[in-house]
Structure 1
């Protein structure tokens, strides 16, 4: 049974990773398993609404948005926070993100980006490179040292670019500055020609941060303005998140 669950999740992940419908034969080749097994797994996933069969192949089903909504609810992600990111994207023209630390991991929960961001963009979901991202530095800086070391030991400190900090000592020094100044900046640590800025969201609940990614030239021109904008966004996001927490605690 555990193996079949793994296989079903592999199929679901493969369908989700595709840009369009995926035929069952292509899934079987990609996953290295028999076609009959793939059809059986697809049938189970389709019956539960996780995938849908179309003439061209399989796509994600209508159950997936409901799972995403449940995830956002459990993560205390209000629709107002997503709208804040969109407003910031329109106002200052930078890709914006909302991230969190939970249960030993860092994840990007929401984003407002261009279709083909010049910054390369972050994908929603788990981020195992928190040592190299501005939002990761904000979140790591707020952790007790033991928790931070556990995260770094589990995720590693891979060199994404020649500028990525891979020394725990150098990272510690940078995180002390982040705690002192209330803002994190990374320049070309994740992608050449790209800089990111992040600030913490001052809530009493989960550790969260808002961040922006922008081309290096734009960062040099108005990086400080972007940081100040993010501080205002973080304050508003905190108000929404605290309201959600209060409503959940009181059953509202």
Structure 2
């Protein structure tokens, strides 16, 4: 069997189909998928058959769309990060008390992900959606999480993901970024003022660890760190940053107690 740089070609192409459909705003036709993957139309039909049968995709008259299995996978991902009913309710409580959209984010095994958010999935103006976070160095939650990593793991993360410039405020120098993370550790919170999106500012703090999820992952990047964050229009941040910090500080012990394994559990 031929292989791609990251696995068997058929598996890689099936996953590429899922990514293409997930990233699209509307159903994707098979011909479009074939052009995207650079393969024959018959290959697309061959690969989408099992995906449809398993519920990962649905085939509509307009093309392929995410299937009914997708929400269950997302709930499973949240569950593995301890984001059950009580934690999800607390995220909504943080949204109400802070008056800003709230986020639960995670670093695990070399990736940073927005696990859940209070922003409606149909609201496209908010720049931080659930899923992989490609702009971690430019976001408050990314800074809060990266500040908790050993230097070797952090360098590996930045080497793998880069430090792209998104606005004129984005920090793209590794030396400046290390200095920024030192300030995050000193203050206990991170802030990004228009670094990922010029219209939005975010504030974040890392959560204490739970057993089985190392607070400071090993140099190899194993283990997990979680963070809480809020975002709001940059124009509103300067007059509200004090109350946002206070809301985050009050939320941390509530989230810690609601996680499946409190930090002091045996």
Same fold (TM over 0.5): yes
- Paired residues of 1:84 and 1:237 also in contact (CA < 8 A): yes
Q: For 1:166 and 1:29, how far apart are their aligned partners in 2?
A: 34
- Within the candidate set 102, 106, 110, 1:100 is matched to 106
**Counterpart of 2:197 in 1: which secondary structure?**
coil
**Counterpart of 1:222 in 2: which secondary structure?**
helix
Residues 30 and 151 (structure 1), Cα distance of their counterparts in 2 relative to 1, 3 Å cut:
closer
- Structure 1: stretches of 5+ with no match in the other structure: none
C-alpha displacement at 1:74, in angstroms? 2.1
C-alpha displacement at 1:122, in angstroms? 1.2
- Within the candidate set 138, 143, 161, 1:155 is matched to 161
- Within the candidate set 55, 59, 62, 1:53 is matched to 59
Partner of residue 225, structure 1: 243
Q: For 1:98 and 1:151, how far apart are their aligned partners in 2?
A: 20
Q: Which has the larger helix fraction?
A: 1
Q: For 1:240 and 1:75, how far apart are their aligned partners in 2?
A: 12
Counterparts in 2 of 1:195-206, with a 5 A limit?
A: 195-204=201-210, 205=213, 206=224
- Within the candidate set 134, 139, 142, 1:136 is matched to 142
- Within the candidate set 15, 22, 38, 1:9 is matched to 15
- Within the candidate set 215, 240, 250, 2:258 is matched to 240
- Paired residues of 1:113 and 1:121 also in contact (CA < 8 A): no
C-alpha displacement at 1:139, in angstroms? 1.0
Partner of residue 226, structure 2: 208
- Within the candidate set 24, 33, 36, 1:27 is matched to 33
- Paired residues of 2:97 and 2:247 also in contact (CA < 8 A): no
Superposed CA RMSD:
2.1
- Within the candidate set 171, 176, 179, 1:173 is matched to 179
Q: TM-score, normalised by structure 1?
A: 0.88
Q: For 1:213 and 1:123, how far apart are their aligned partners in 2?
A: 12
- Within the candidate set 200, 206, 214, 1:194 is matched to 200
Q: For 2:124 and 2:45, how far apart are their aligned partners in 1?
A: 36
Q: For 2:158 and 2:62, how far apart are their aligned partners in 1?
A: 43
**2:58 aligned with 1:85, yes or no?**
no
- Paired residues of 2:201 and 2:237 also in contact (CA < 8 A): yes
The Cα offsets for residues 99-133 of structure 1, whole Å up to 9 and x where unpaired, read as 11111221111111144354x42122222322211
Partner of residue 116, structure 1: 123
**2:39 aligned with 1:39, yes or no?**
no
C-alpha displacement at 1:29, in angstroms? 3.2
- Paired residues of 2:145 and 2:225 also in contact (CA < 8 A): yes
Aligned length: 245
Q: For 2:20 and 2:199, how far apart are their aligned partners in 1?
A: 31
Q: For 1:69 and 1:34, how far apart are their aligned partners in 2?
A: 34
- Structure 2: stretches of 5+ with no match in the other structure: 2-7, 214-223
